[in-house]
Structure formats: C-alpha cells, structure tokens
Homo-oligomer: A and B are copies of this chain.
C-alpha cells in the first residue's frame, strides 16, 4: 500500500502516494511540509492542504501571471502578495519589461523550505530585479506609500482561517490603492465548484471596486475539484487585448499558456455567467 497523504475537503478527498518526506516544520503561521510523490514529484502542503507540486505547478503560475502581464501596458513594476514557492515571480520575471518585482510573503520559513527543496519551481530567486520581503501583505498594501505598481498579483491561500482576510473587500481596496491608474490586478479566486460561494462573493466584491472584472478558469489537478479560477481586474485595460508582440517572447517557454488558452480561459460557462448575474445583475 505505501504511505499516502490525503487532503480532505468537505466530503471529498484527494491523495498522493508519498515516497519520502523532505521537510516538516511549524512556522509562526502554519505547518509546512514538503514530500516526494510518484505522481507529481515534490509537493508542498501548508496546514495539510496541498499548495503546489513540481508536476502541476505550471497551470497555476502561468495562469495567474500572464493574462495580467500581457494585458497591462508593458509593466515595469510588479507586486506579488504571497507566492512563497517562487513560481509566480519566476513567471513575472520572464517579462523583459519588468524592472522591479516586489514579493511580500508573510512566512519566511515557506520561502526557505522552497528554496532548498523545490528548486525547479523557484528558478528566479537570484534575479536582481526581484526583492523578497518577509512581511504582512495586508499591512503593506494598507499602509505603504511606495511607488505604485503596474501589475498586482495576489497569490494567497484559501479564504479559510488565516487566509480569510485575503478575500476581504478592504484588502482588495487596499491592493487597488497600490495599482497605477492603468494597472491590472489578478488573483487566485478559488474553485467555482466546491467553493462556489467564495468564488461568487469575490466576483461581487471586485465589481464594486473595478470597472472591468473578468474571472477565468483553468485546470489545477492538485486542488479540490481540479478546476480553478483566477480573476482579472482593471479600470482601463481589456482582458482580451493581449500585447501580442510581447507575448511572442514569452509563450514559447511556457508549458500551458498561449494566446488561444488565454482567450479560452475567459470563456464564461453558463453556470458562472448565471451565478454572477444572479448576484450583481447583468452588466
């Protein structure tokens, strides 16, 4: 039989056969584990919930990052909140227009563990354009008077327990405060299936702040239901107006994302369209 690690979510569970534990420790914020699996390579869990794996991380990181980056005007300054495994900043730093990427991660232990045990995910830690700060992202966006950003990416955990604040209207409002007028924000916004309330409530909150809000979907085998969502927000940009010239230099190095995938991900299934219309009215 071997050793299995299962994540139970409501009344479903997903498990992977574990061949070896590489890291296990308690930080001031959460329990951090990294182990080796047959199916998806090395996997990190936080408080016993799957966060990322070598085998499927590209879905999540490519889809969180490139839709925002390629619809913003040649972004120079990018802010990432969370993202301790380094996958999101790796994708951001593929873009030659970026001069500065600030990553605010609350949990230093996550970054240290990932640097050591998930080096295939965090391949850009040494990029001189990257600045990693160990601080509370909520506090940062509420109080910082630093220069604004062209793109803000929210790469946080689920809105359960300590992560709940990352889905607050006040947090979203503060994130927008850090965005330049033509900026684009994107965030992971949970699964529209098993966590449909969190998904739809997030859509409603963001619509009260941005004039254009577009959820988009893609696969993440590691997460509950396997179908994940991200949400794109801006006051001035268009989620379908991709900068194709800039995209050219990026897409070839990616495993999933390309311009067809970008457009396809923004297709709103009936269930999503109706769920949003029921809550905010058609717009």
Contacts and interface: CB of A to CB of B under 8 A. Distances in A.
A2 B269 CA distance: 34
Interface string A250-263: 01001111101101
Contact of A219 (B37, B40, B225): B225
A38 B11 contact: yes
B270 A251 contact: yes
A265 interface: yes
Contacts of A16: 11-13
A266 B16 CA distance: 30
A163 interface: no
A193 interface: yes
List the number of copies, as a whole number. 2
A56 B192 CA distance: 12
A50 to B, nearest CB: 11
- The CB with the most chain B CB atoms within 10 A, among A4, A219, A227, A271, is that of A219
Interface of A: 2, 4, 6, 10-17, 37-40, 56, 193-194, 217, 219-221, 225-227, 251, 254-258, 260-261, 263-271, 273
17 contacts: A2-B11, A4-B13, A10-B39, A12-B14, A13-B14, A13-B16, A14-B14, A15-B15, A193-B221, A217-B219, A221-B226, A226-B227, A255-B271, A257-B270, A258-B268, A261-B270, A264-B266
